[in-house]
Structure 1
Amino acid sequence: MLVLADAQPLGEYNPINGYGELGVSPLYDGLLRPQSQSDNTIPELVPALAASQPISNPDHTVWDVALREGVNFHDGTPLDAGDVVATYRSVLDQGTGSEIAASYDMIDTVTAVDELHVQFVLRYPYADFPARLLLGIAPSELIADGPARDSQLNTQPVGTGPYILTELRPDQAVFKANPNYWAGEPEVTNLVLTYEPDDNTRAQHMRSGALSGTVIPPLLASSFTDPAVSIVAVRTADWRGVSLPSTNPFTSDERARIALNIGVDRDSIIEHVLAGYGEPASTPFNDVYGDSYNPHAVFDYAPEEAKRILDDAGWISAADGIRTKGSHRAEFTLMYPASDTTRRDLAHAFASAVQPLGIDVSLHGATWDEIERHAQSAAILLGGGDKPYSIDTQVYETLHSRSPNTPTYSNPANFTIPGVDEALESARRSTDPHVRTAAYQQVQDAYIQHPTHVFLAFLDHTYATTDNMSSPEFC
């Protein structure tokens, strides 16, 4: 038996609302799943519930997927094309209020050609569509009308995945191996996932031997000396950064946003806050994307230049050291989830870094519900890059101006960067890799001139594990 601990609440296991969207879940499978070769490359997407790779027409507007035969859901009902159709249609149905609907708005229709053949017709060419085929598939019989948040799948999930939920409490979920799993019964027959939001408590439980594995912040990971506990660090494209409000007189000034970006020593933050487990980020583009990554699109640390830019912009130091322009002060509130110690520490480091520039950042730890209410008026210590399987899924929603279905924390200030919307659309819709590469290079060049965030770092994901566990796959 493995006992894992996570900082995220348990439940909400409905794929219609995004659970299992990344293709890695104990409960659900997608048509495809990610298969990582190394930390330095994008994971390859390989068939899961699909029998083979999806096939598209030449302009990537029609995608055909053949389903694997002989797959059953946990309740014994067979998987067929109707289940895939029902799952995707429910995500797109405005009545479900799916939080991930915007990620699938390129889909025009999804139909069952026969029992084991699904066809997706898109609104426009989209070469990266396979990255949208990771969504966990649920039985059509259990996909009900109405809000996804109210579905019984949140607490009584039924999927095709390697584990079956047998018990759910607020602090613990118990899973047993699926003996009829299409890929073979898992070696670990019992899995317990506990909810423990406090990082130090999870670390203590690892030291005491109560846990087999857990996700753990970098600073805590660096403190482990027990030879029975191994620290596993995985390089990622998962970024942390500060969104800046467009309604604040200071952060609405583009020159102020440039000064903030060059006034922060990212290398120092990575050393002292992340214990070296990370890489500097100036944009959400990571070098894992090869030729599309622009190594010159960076903000070099230049605090004196930052001060000069602020002076030239009319933000002049007052008697108390904080800059002013007319009746406005160079100040804003930075919110972060209070339970996340890494974001807390990054927020404090950011505020300390810009204080010598004459900028006053007030810090406010809160719940996500409270942060959401202030998403457009406050700066937020955000994270992204949780969908790194294509550049489009990595950067589109973060840098594109908002639409009605855009998630709350994607470009919350609704900045529009000159030329970027058009370049992102061109890259998304083109079938020519050279056109796409050029468009993404253009996006990065434009962002450096017109920044909307202060991206700080790409995190290494750090885990603590015991000897009886090779990796915390579902942690």
Structure 2
Amino acid sequence: MKNLTGILLAVTLVVACTKKEAGQTADVQAQSTTGTKLTNNELKIGISQEFENFNPLIASMVATTYMQRMVNRTLVVIDADGKWVPQLAKSIPTLENGGAKVVKLGGKEKLQATWEILDNAVWGDGTPITCEDFALSVKVASSPNVGVGEKESFTQVEKIESVDKNPKKCLFTYEKAKWDFYQLGNFYPLPKQLEEAVFKKFGAQKEGYEKNSLYSKDPTNVGLFNGPYVISEMQLGDHVTFTPNPKFYGVQPHIKKIIVKLIPNTGTLEANLRSGTIDLISSLGLALDQALAFDKKVKSEKLGYEVLFQPSTVYEHIDLNLDNPFLKDVRVRKALNYAINKEDLVNALFEGKQQPAIHSITPRDPWFTADPAKVTVYKYNKREAERLLDEAGWKVGADGIRMKDGKRLSFTVMTTAGNKTRELVQVYLQNQWKQVGIEVNAKNEPARVFFGETTKKRAFDSMALFAWVSSPENTPKSTFTSKNIPTAKNGWSGQNYMGWSNPQVDKTLEALDTEMKPEKRIEMVHEVLKAYTDEVPVLPLYYRSDVAVIPTQLKGYRLTGHQFPETNVVENWNLE
């Protein structure tokens, strides 16, 4: 998963209603009434989330993923219609078309698939993309010294070798026969001609490769990129400039320069749009109330913009740090959950158009269930919350806050600074929990710190408020299994920031990988969700939608609603 928080997916909160039908393309061509007509010479995009290192193996912030898709591509990807399609690959191998097969190797059942890279796919410096670039990714990601959020996306592949002496025809040998072996949407290649030497020199040091990768040291080196654009300028904390990659294997992009500007205060995005400082507000921009309010202004003032809404696979929630001594008691975790009136929260903040969440899988996913016979549903129940806290030995003190053994029942909820809606959510939750005798303080950090250090290294005291974005039928191993609890020993790899450990969940998710029957997979996922909702390592809040504001003359722009953003087809955007 990616955080909007994942990958880690934090993105700004948006409303869960659809004003633009799924898959609809924004092809309106009316001239903007707010200023000079835009041309393909330049497009300025506003985002509210900070970005980080552009190394595709290391990056975990969704803002980086948003821009990464402009400059780098993978073998396959999910398109805006929710279908897996080839990208760097000529086609997708399957068991049915003979491109993949189950084999016995060393007494174990494994899977082999032949992936063919496009003949004209090259890096920005003209070096052909080959099997060796993908093999390098596996080697780097497998190192215990390199912190990779979705490490198993790479380590599931044991070996990559060329076939028929063709450097672009690659035989992938997977560690086991997995049903989703072809879902390599985050399996990025690394440019061997540039990055192999860095890994050889610094790979033995903890975080040595991350700090010395050319993506960090020389981020405008065109040889690092294979997409329709390259990075021509980068200023962390301010902006990134993209220009067309003349070596791109596909059609050349229409827009000659794209500048992505960081505007961390979401309250000023509209003003920046109206002034012409930016031309477009990305899906990492407006908060819910701002999007709704601006949509009304667009229509009443006949502005030259369109506000797009797209139901998504984004899950807003609070990760609980289970190392916190108070949170080790499941009764306290359940009390926290019961004390949240989610229906009132979405009505108060989202005009009732946002759907309360009951677990990590969204209604857009075939694996979703709301059946109380299959998952535990926590409807608002103040009395039950109080009963559980009483049972756990927490008694109400003179100031209304519960005490036990001389200690206050107090937590800290952290999130990304400058996110207006998340700050409102914090205030709402503080008031809700205070009513049952729980004190909660707020502490916020810049997104780059919150995701790059605090959550990644599980340095939050008790609560981390953010969002995950994923794709349908995405196995939650990176966030649920105990081997994906980030530690110094494993180089802070994994996304199980809660520190949740359930041996049966580990076992079921391992078995899920090799279960070829769809109906059996659904049954297994529901078993995992039952444990997830019973043990409450996370406080679900609501399911979200993507939102963006685009100039009405922009063609070819489509919100996807999943972890592969609209920039995945940036070469199709056209302002003329």
TM-score, reference length from structure 1: 0.89
Q: C-alpha distance in 1, partners of 2:145/2:480? A: 27
In structure 2, relative to structure 1, the CA distance for the partners of 1:306 and 1:444 (3 Å cut) is: same
| Distance apart, 1:431 and its partner CA | 2.5
1:302-361 Cα offsets, whole Å, 9 max, x none, are: 222222222333323222212233434322111222233333232222222221111111
> Counterpart of 1:130 in 2: which secondary structure?
coil
Find the partner of 2:497 among 391, 412, 418. 412
Superposition pairs of residues 224-243 of structure 1, within 5 angstroms = 224=294, 225-226=297-298, 227-243=303-319
In structure 2, relative to structure 1, the CA distance for the partners of 1:340 and 1:62 (3 Å cut) is: farther
Q: C-alpha distance in 2, partners of 1:89/1:434? A: 35
- What letter matches 1:219 in structure 2? D
Query: Contact 2:310–2:547 (CA<8 Å) still a contact in 1?
Result: yes
Q: C-alpha distance in 1, partners of 2:508/2:189? A: 33
Q: What is residue 388 of structure 1 aligned with on the other side?
A: 471
In structure 2, relative to structure 1, the CA distance for the partners of 1:398 and 1:142 (3 Å cut) is: same
Query: Contact 1:173–1:193 (CA<8 Å) still a contact in 2?
Result: yes
| Distance apart, 1:218 and its partner CA | 1.3
Bigger relative contact order (CA 8 A; separation at least 6): 2
Q: What is residue 164 of structure 1 aligned with on the other side?
A: 230
| Deviates most, 431-440 or 3-12 | 3-12
1:118-140 Cα offsets, whole Å, 9 max, x none, are: 12222223222323343333422
| Distance apart, 1:257 and its partner CA | 1.0
1:153-196 Cα offsets, whole Å, 9 max, x none, are: 34125322111222223423222223443221122232111122
| Distance apart, 1:4 and its partner CA | 0.5
Superposition pairs of residues 344-355 of structure 1, within 5 angstroms = 344-355=423-434
Q: C-alpha distance in 2, partners of 1:109/1:23? A: 29
- Residue 271 (str. 1) matches residue 347 (str. 2): yes
Q: C-alpha distance in 1, partners of 2:528/2:413? A: 26
Q: C-alpha distance in 1, partners of 2:352/2:172? A: 44
> Counterpart of 1:87 in 2: which secondary structure?
helix
| Distance apart, 1:29 and its partner CA | 1.0
Q: C-alpha distance in 2, partners of 1:437/1:406? A: 32
Find the partner of 2:550 among 461, 465, 471. 465
Query: Contact 1:248–1:332 (CA<8 Å) still a contact in 2?
Result: no
Query: Contact 2:304–2:551 (CA<8 Å) still a contact in 1?
Result: yes
- What letter matches 2:524 in structure 1? A
Q: C-alpha distance in 2, partners of 1:96/1:291? A: 32
| Distance apart, 1:95 and its partner CA | 4.7
- Residue 401 (str. 1) matches residue 463 (str. 2): no
| Distance apart, 1:205 and its partner CA | 0.5
Structure 1: which 5+ runs fail to align? 38-42
- Residue 378 (str. 1) matches residue 441 (str. 2): no
| Distance apart, 1:432 and its partner CA | 2.7
- Residue 150 (str. 1) matches residue 212 (str. 2): yes
Q: C-alpha distance in 2, partners of 1:259/1:122? A: 43
Query: Contact 1:239–1:458 (CA<8 Å) still a contact in 2?
Result: yes
> Counterpart of 2:549 in 1: which secondary structure?
strand
Q: C-alpha distance in 2, partners of 1:264/1:350? A: 7
- What letter matches 1:117 in structure 2? K
Task: Report percent identity of matched pairs.
Answer: 21
Structure 2: which 5+ runs fail to align? 1-41, 94-98, 103-108, 203-208, 560-565, 571-576
> Counterpart of 2:90 in 1: which secondary structure?
coil
| Distance apart, 1:53 and its partner CA | 0.3
| Distance apart, 1:441 and its partner CA | 0.9
| Distance apart, 1:152 and its partner CA | 1.5
1:411-442 Cα offsets, whole Å, 9 max, x none, are: 32412246322222221232232332111111
Q: What is residue 26 of structure 1 aligned with on the other side?
A: 70
Q: C-alpha distance in 2, partners of 1:448/1:17? A: 30
| Distance apart, 1:102 and its partner CA | 4.4
In structure 2, relative to structure 1, the CA distance for the partners of 1:400 and 1:96 (3 Å cut) is: closer
- What letter matches 1:116 in structure 2? K
Q: What is residue 40 of structure 1 aligned with on the other side?
A: none
1:43-89 Cα offsets, whole Å, 9 max, x none, are: 22210010000333236632221111122222222222222222333
Query: Contact 1:218–1:274 (CA<8 Å) still a contact in 2?
Result: yes
Query: Contact 2:479–2:495 (CA<8 Å) still a contact in 1?
Result: yes
Find the partner of 2:445 among 366, 372, 393. 366
Q: C-alpha distance in 1, partners of 2:211/2:496? A: 24
- What letter matches 2:225 in structure 1? G
Q: C-alpha distance in 2, partners of 1:179/1:413? A: 44
- Residue 45 (str. 1) matches residue 128 (str. 2): no
Q: C-alpha distance in 1, partners of 2:240/2:416? A: 24
In structure 2, relative to structure 1, the CA distance for the partners of 1:235 and 1:36 (3 Å cut) is: same
| Distance apart, 1:276 and its partner CA | 4.7
| Distance apart, 1:410 and its partner CA | 2.8
Q: What is residue 84 of structure 1 aligned with on the other side?
A: 134
> Counterpart of 1:357 in 2: which secondary structure?
coil
> Counterpart of 1:264 in 2: which secondary structure?
coil
Find the partner of 1:421 among 506, 511, 524. 506
In structure 2, relative to structure 1, the CA distance for the partners of 1:94 and 1:399 (3 Å cut) is: closer
| Distance apart, 1:459 and its partner CA | 1.7
In structure 2, relative to structure 1, the CA distance for the partners of 1:312 and 1:87 (3 Å cut) is: closer
> Counterpart of 1:91 in 2: which secondary structure?
helix
Q: What is residue 140 of structure 1 aligned with on the other side?
A: 192
Query: Contact 2:101–2:112 (CA<8 Å) still a contact in 1?
Result: yes
Q: C-alpha distance in 1, partners of 2:548/2:66? A: 19
Q: C-alpha distance in 2, partners of 1:382/1:466? A: 29
